[in-house]
Amino acid sequence: MKKLFKKYRELIIYVIVGGLTTVVNYIIHFGLRALNVNYYIALTAAWFGAVLFAYVANRIFVFESKNPKIFKELIAFVSSRLATLLLDMGTMFLLSSVLQINYN
């Protein structure tokens, strides 16, 4: 078991961090929605929180980055995920506003 973990450590930790990132996203998103925050604002805030969490967790635990240019690395990380925010917002608009599907 130990040998398998060593072999697939990065992948295992990456999957765990991805799952925790999803949890962070949901907590922020549904917490804000419980406070009656507009769903686009809640979606955007949750995205930012999840991406920031993912950056820190991936930097420390998955890739063990020692790059001293943290800000440059963070900008590249966030930029590479901007498409997911646009996809989220587009999907929410289509399903909730156009097709009138219950948001929750």
* pLDDT given at position 1: 83
* pLDDT given at position 38: 92
* pLDDT given at position 57: 96
Rounded to two decimals, the pTM is: 0.86
The string of pLDDT tens digits covering residues 86-99 is 999 999 899 988 99
Greatest Cα-to-Cα distance within the chain, rounded to the nearest angstrom: 51
Regions in the chain scoring below 50 on pLDDT: none
Owner of token pair 């922020």 = 28
* pLDDT given at position 103: 74
* pLDDT given at position 102: 82
